[in-house]
Amino acid sequence: MARPVVAIVGRPNVGKSTVFNRIIGERLAIVEDKPGITRDRIYGIGEWNGKSFSIIDTGGIELDGEDMILKSIRMQAELAMEEADVIVFMCDAKSGLTQSDEEVANLLYRSGKPIVIAVNKVDNMERADHIYEFYNLGFGDPIGVSGSHGMGVGDLLDAIVEKLPELEEEEYDEDVIRVALIGRPNVGKSSLVNAILGEERVIVSDVAGTTRDAIDTPFEKDGQRYVLIDTAGMRKRGKVYETTEKYSVMRAMKAIERADVVLIVINGEEGIIEQDKHIAGYAYEAGRASAFVVNKWDIVEKDDKTMKNFEQKIRDHFLFMTYAPVVFLSALTKQRLQKLLPVVKHVAEQHNRRVQTHLLNDVISDAVAINPPPTDKGRRMRINYATQVTVKPPTIVVFVNDPDLMHFSYERYLENKIRAAFDFEGTPIRLFTRRKSDEG
């Protein structure tokens, strides 16, 4: 489901990231201990009073160089104006209203987007009086918050949620597989869309940033209906967008949320860079079926070990997605292109697969017999039974005598045994441990 987008904008050191982390709360901790996931992130999910939204911390976007601060602020504001449905303009009660704040305000005022003004670092009653000067910016009532102490964040969320738009959901039948192509600019996403469709439906150029916006393209192949969601890379307008790879994460995230299957496109000629891990990490966190597509394979110098070595590099870099298959192809020459859609269809089926409870428990019983849970201070976890509660992604609840005794390594062992028995290629599996008395 697509969510409205909220962006936090403001000059450096006003505490954007602190407030961002407050809003997304526990969600970061879900994957912190997964090996290989890049820890710094600028995109998260917030929820308040039953409303869910994506939130961008533009403080995560920085430009190199000492003289780039104003340019960076301007870029952040422009990104927010492009991407966001609601903009949180963050200021700082400690330093008061500055010229930089006024410059950002001028930019935001022209955007026509709903603005919520938040004044951070209101850590005591004395500073609470400092928020009144921010009325001068013309965005209505400033909301005093303390990101470090959590004060006022509820009021801020109330104001955000009040301004969120109701998004219309696109209507697709249940059997349509929605496929998002994500990746850094210039890895060949649009060329790949064109190759799959067999016609020039998406503008393609070798200059990074020529895709104008996300485009949905329905098509049918071998009796299966698909919708391709081509994520816009960087906007062509404005060189400032080409200075930061992180911008592509915002675009990718929007497409991921609407997809069943995510194709993580990697430039085979350039190899893997850190930004590829950022983007893949969001597909994992969103619980989407995934496959890696190594494009431009026609121009890679290779021998009989090149493909195997490249796949091993993917496994080493993306330790949290060892379940995702890898397809090597060339969108330009269509080499190996015929292998892609069968993989997409297969991982979509695994993503939607439901395992009968008695079969699942047989596998878990065998796994426990082979390798019993380790003891912790003389106590051993006892697994009563497990059941799959939902699909997309397959989600399994394991009922035990004490959830605190479930170690991450043993959870991973169980997941591996479940995969060995039921495939689940291309899809994450969510395992949750519950006390038996918690059931129902």
Residue 173 known to bind ligand: no
What is the C-alpha to C-alpha distance for residues 195 and 386, in angstroms, rounded to an integer? 43
Residue 268 known to bind ligand: no
Residue 305 known to bind ligand: no
Give CA angle at 206 (201, 208), nearest 5°. Answer: 95
Residue 334 known to bind ligand: no
Residue 48 known to bind ligand: no
7 DSSP β-pair partners: 56, 87
Residue 416 known to bind ligand: no
Residue 232 known to bind ligand: yes
How many C-beta neighbours within 10 Å does residue 13 have?
12
100 three-class SS:
helix
What is the C-alpha to C-alpha distance for residues 44 and 30, in angstroms, rounded to an integer? 12
178 three-class SS:
strand
Concatenating the DSSP letter of every residue in 297-361 gives GGGS---TTHHHHHHHHHHHH-GGGTTS-EEE--TTT-TTGGGHHHHHHHHHHHHT----HHHHH
Residue 16 known to bind ligand: yes
Residue 412 known to bind ligand: no
Of the candidates 143, 146, 156, 139, the residue with the CA atom closest to the CA atom of residue 49: 156
Rounded to 5 degrees, φ, ψ at 425 are: -65, 135
Residue 120 known to bind ligand: yes
Residue 144 known to bind ligand: no
Residue 163 known to bind ligand: no
Residue 50 known to bind ligand: no
Residue 188 known to bind ligand: yes
Residue 384 known to bind ligand: no
How many C-beta neighbours within 10 Å does residue 109 have?
14
What is the C-alpha to C-alpha distance for residues 6 and 56, in angstroms, rounded to an integer? 6
Residue 236 known to bind ligand: no
Residue 234 known to bind ligand: yes
Residue 104 known to bind ligand: no
Residue 433 known to bind ligand: no
Residue 122 known to bind ligand: yes
Residue 394 known to bind ligand: no
Residue 10 known to bind ligand: yes
Q: Which two tokens stand for residue 332?
A: 């330009």
Residue 233 known to bind ligand: yes
Residue 42 known to bind ligand: no
Residue 59 known to bind ligand: yes
Residue 297 known to bind ligand: yes
Of the candidates 156, 46, 40, the residue with the CA atom closest to the CA atom of residue 90: 156
Residue 184 known to bind ligand: yes
Residue 183 known to bind ligand: yes
Residue 296 in contact with residue 268, Cβ under 8 Å?
yes
Residue 58 known to bind ligand: yes
**Which residues in 42-59 are b (16+ Cβ under 10 Å) and which e?**
bbbbbebeeeebbbbbbb
Residue 401 known to bind ligand: no
Residue 138 known to bind ligand: no
What is the C-alpha to C-alpha distance for residues 86 and 260, in angstroms, rounded to an integer? 26
Residue 14 known to bind ligand: yes
Q: Which residues are annotated as a binding site?
A: 10-17, 57-61, 120-123, 183-190, 230-234, 295-298
Q: Which residues are annotated as a binding site for GTP?
A: 10-17, 57-61, 120-123, 183-190, 230-234, 295-298
